Every structure is written in C-alpha cells, then in structure tokens.
Chains A and B, each alone.
Chain A
Amino acid sequence: GENVEQHPSTLSVQEGDSAVIKCTYSDSASNYFPWYKQELGKGPQLIIDIRSNVGEKKDQRIAVTLNKTAKHFSLHITETQPEDSAVYFCAASEGGSTLGRLYFGRGTQLTVWP
C-alpha cells in the first residue's frame, strides 16, 4: 500500500513568516493529494488539494506544489497568522480508486507566535 512521510512533526514560526511542510509518497499511481487542517477538538478540514495533472495550486495565502518525478508535495503558508496554528495532515489517494481511501502523513503541529 501507499506510504506517506511528513516533515517536520512540529514547526514554530513568528507571525508574518512563511511555513513549509513537506510530504513524500511511495505509490507512483497515487493521483490526489489533499491537505487537512485540524484544530483542537475538531474534525479535519480540507484546506487545499492538488491532482497529479497539476504542478502547483494557490488559494490566497496557501499553496501546494507537486513533484511527481520525485514523489513529493509541499504545503506553503505565507504571512502566517496565529489562527493558522493547528495540526496539518497531508494525504495521498490510493491510485485508481474512485473512493476516498486516503493515506495520511503523521501530521505537523504548526504554532504561529504573535
């Protein structure tokens, strides 16, 4: 099955700085890569996703890049704010699946200091 590695496990940044979280995956057939934000006591919320036919996607302060050759993808958050503090999970789909079988990374605890 798919194996997703995520780094770093914790990340602390000053408000206004950028944050980058990186993930690698093992199954070259995986074609969907979502990022979830999970705040304390809440369920994961999708913040951005990318499919394998696209190299980069942006949504305001958040961007995701995908390198299919190297099998890695990254989340970039610019101009961080204290409310960005949360656990972030990357995930990769099971290649060829029409169902949402996702393989998650272990998560990154992001703390943004005011």
Chain B
Amino acid sequence: DTEVTQTPKHLVMGMTNKKSLKCEQHMGHRAMYWYKQKAKKPPELMFVYSYEKLSINESVPSRFSPECPNSSLLNLHLHALQPEDSALYLCASSQEQAAGQTGELFFGEGSRLTVL
C-alpha cells in the first residue's frame, strides 16, 4: 500500500470551475512533488517543494497553483483549465539525501482529472 495519499481519486470539472487536488504523506519526507501523466506516457515533473518552499516550477501554466501548507500536505489548485489538461496527476515525496544523492520517490495512486 502506498504511503502517499491523494484525494480525490477522480475529478470531473468544467473549464470555469475551481477545484483542488490534495496529497498527504506521513513518512517525514521534506520534499514533495507534483507530476502530470498522460495516457501511455511517462510522468512529467510539474513542481517540487523542498522544506515547504517551492524549489522547481517546470514552466507550468498559472492555471495550476501549488501550495504546501506544511511538511505533510501538498495541494494543487486548479482554475480555468483546458480539456488538454485532462490527465492523471501524481503526487510524490522523498527524503532529502546527502549532497549529490537523489532520494527514492514514493508516488501516490494519483488523481484522474477530466476537464469538460
């Protein structure tokens, strides 16, 4: 069982709606990530938070707004999305490693988003 919990599992929204995806982990990890995955494609990195601060934004459109309220929670606020934003949104977390060492990523089960 994954230790990264994502809600909701499924979300359908219109282009004018505002919704949020939520992610929670209790492994004490200090890095959290949002990935986007289209069907039959690998995950694509969107955002990385390290110690609750945004460290990486992969030039994601502003209609996606991440938030990290504390070290266990990660949100992705959605507004004015387009049908092409329909995808599986994956949250992940990792422990910070020694300098130059990448830590293991633990993924959640994802939130499947459909934009009508």
A99 lies within 8 A of chain B by Cβ = yes
**Is B48 in contact with A98, judged by CB distance below 8 angstroms?**
no
Docked Cα-Cα span, A64 to B29, in Å, equals 26
**Is A46 in contact with B56, judged by CB distance below 8 angstroms?**
no
Q: Type the 1/0 row for A77-114, where 1 means its CB is closer than 8 Å to any CB of B.
A: 00000000000010001111111111011110000000
In the bound complex, residues from chain A placing their C-beta under 8 Å from that of B48 are 99-101
Docked Cα-Cα span, A96 to B48, in Å, equals 16
In the bound complex, residues from chain B placing their C-beta under 8 Å from that of A98 are 96-103
B42 lies within 8 A of chain A by Cβ = yes
In the bound complex, residues from chain A placing their C-beta under 8 Å from that of B98 are 98
In the bound complex, residues from chain A placing their C-beta under 8 Å from that of B108 are 43
B76 lies within 8 A of chain A by Cβ = no
B25 lies within 8 A of chain A by Cβ = no
Q: Choose from B2, B42, B101 the contact partner of A31 (Cβ within 8 Å).
A: B101
Within the complex, the shortest CB–CB distance from A26 to chain B, in Å, comes to: 16
Within the complex, the shortest CB–CB distance from A51 to chain B, in Å, comes to: 8
Beyond A44-B43, A102-B45, whether A97 also contacts B102 by CB under 8 A is yes
**Chain A, interface SS category:** loop
**Is A107 in contact with B40, judged by CB distance below 8 angstroms?**
yes
B81 lies within 8 A of chain A by Cβ = no
In the bound complex, residues from chain A placing their C-beta under 8 Å from that of B92 are 100
Q: Type the 1/0 row for B57-82, where 1 means its CB is closer than 8 Å to any CB of A.
A: 00000000000000000000000000
In the bound complex, residues from chain A placing their C-beta under 8 Å from that of B86 are none
Docked Cα-Cα span, A65 to B31, in Å, equals 28
Docked Cα-Cα span, A94 to B104, in Å, equals 13
Docked Cα-Cα span, A49 to B97, in Å, equals 15
Which residues of A pack against B, CB within 8 Å?
31-32, 34, 36, 41-46, 49, 51, 89, 93-102, 104-107
List 17 A-B residue pairs with CB atoms under 8 Å apart, sorted by A's residue number.
Answer: A32-B101, A32-B102, A34-B104, A34-B105, A44-B90, A45-B2, A46-B104, A89-B43, A98-B100, A99-B50, A99-B56, A99-B94, A100-B105, A101-B56, A101-B102, A106-B41, A107-B42
Which residues of B pack against A, CB within 8 Å?
2, 4, 6, 31, 33, 40-43, 45, 48, 50, 55-56, 90, 92, 94, 96-110
